[in-house]
């Protein structure tokens, strides 16, 4: 596997359902040696800190195989960064990953923490009001990572995948569970919380588990 592209976005305004929104989703490839810190790429703008960024969502990754699927589905070419991702990797599909899987790229070590959940900002970027529904149904979410070891990345570097050996579940399981509120019973929630999930999802499922306990 190889790192195909590194992408960042600048501060930009667009109209989302009639209101102006400031976003960093419009990303494009950058060249050279790019420092990666615990919070991702310093020059990458984040407009919505409630749902994006932070140590458990330091970078968003989308794979070449998933992009090729979308190109066939949409009947057009897509440039790297189109989905607002920071990194693109070859020979990998997001659906094959588990929470906790590790990616080694040079000195940088990354851990899979959560699937990307599509939102209205993404639909506006894609100029398609049905995009959230389409993207959700495709089950090719891409994934967020935490940075276990900082370093610098350059496009073209080799990528090595190491599967998580502890308690976990697949990225697709987490993705499906997000949309299945009724299916998140106690056993399911405990399985999610046993994995190294992102803090945002962890806090959400901890609250739900507490609510279930208070009703029992």
Could you tell me the CATH number of the domain that includes residue 150? 2.40.33.20
**Measured CA distances, 27 to 8, 36, 81, 213 (Å):** 5, 16, 5, 43
Please report whether residue 68 resides in a domain: yes
Domain count, the chain: 1
Please report whether residue 120 resides in a domain: yes
Residue 157 token pair: 């570097």
Please report whether residue 13 resides in a domain: yes
pLDDT attached to residue 50 = 87
Please report whether residue 122 resides in a domain: yes
pLDDT attached to residue 119 = 92
Euclidean distance between CA atoms 173 and 144, whole angstroms = 15
Please report whether residue 65 resides in a domain: yes
Within 10 angstroms of residue 136's Cβ, the number of other Cβ atoms is 15
The tens-digit pLDDT sequence of the chain (216 residues) is: 999 999 999 999 998 888 899 999 999 999 999 999 999 999 999 988 888 899 999 999 999 999 999 999 999 999 999 999 999 999 999 989 999 999 999 999 999 999 999 999 999 999 999 999 999 999 999 999 999 999 999 999 999 999 999 999 999 999 999 999 888 999 999 999 999 999 999 999 999 998 887 765
Which residues have a Cβ under 8 Å from the Cβ of 173 and sit 6 or more positions away? none
pLDDT attached to residue 169 = 94
Within 10 angstroms of residue 54's Cβ, the number of other Cβ atoms is 19
pLDDT attached to residue 216 = 58
DSSP 21: E
- What is the residue range of 40's domain? 3-168
Please report whether residue 215 resides in a domain: no
Please report whether residue 26 resides in a domain: yes
Please report whether residue 199 resides in a domain: no
């Amino acid at each position: 596997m190889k790192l195909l592209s590194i992408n960042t976005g600048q501060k930009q305004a667009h109209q989302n359902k009639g209101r102006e929104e400031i976003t960093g989703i419009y990303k494009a490839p950058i060249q050279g040696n790019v420092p990666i810190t615990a919070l991702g790429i310093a020059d990458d703008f984040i407009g919505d800190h409630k749902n994006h960024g932070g140590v458990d969502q330091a970078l968003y990754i989308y794979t070449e195989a998933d992009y090729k699927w979308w190109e066939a589905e949409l009947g057009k070419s897509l440039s790297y960064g189109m989905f607002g991702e920071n990194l693109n990797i070859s020979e990998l599909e997001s659906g094959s990953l588990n929470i906790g899987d590790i990616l080694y790229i040079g000195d940088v070590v990354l851990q899979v923490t959560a699937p990307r959940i599509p939102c209205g900002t993404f639909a506006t970027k894609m100029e398609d009001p049905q995009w959230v529904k389409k993207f959700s149904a495709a089950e090719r979410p891409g994934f967020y990572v935490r940075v276990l070891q900082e370093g610098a990345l350059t496009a073209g570097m080799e990528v090595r995948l190491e599967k998580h050996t502890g308690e976990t579940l697949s990225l697709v399981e987490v993705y499906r569970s997000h949309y299945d509120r009724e299916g998140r019973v106690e056993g399911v929630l405990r399985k999610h919380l046993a994995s190294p999930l992102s803090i945002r999802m962890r806090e959400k499922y901890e609250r739900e588990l507490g609510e279930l306990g208070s009703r029992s």
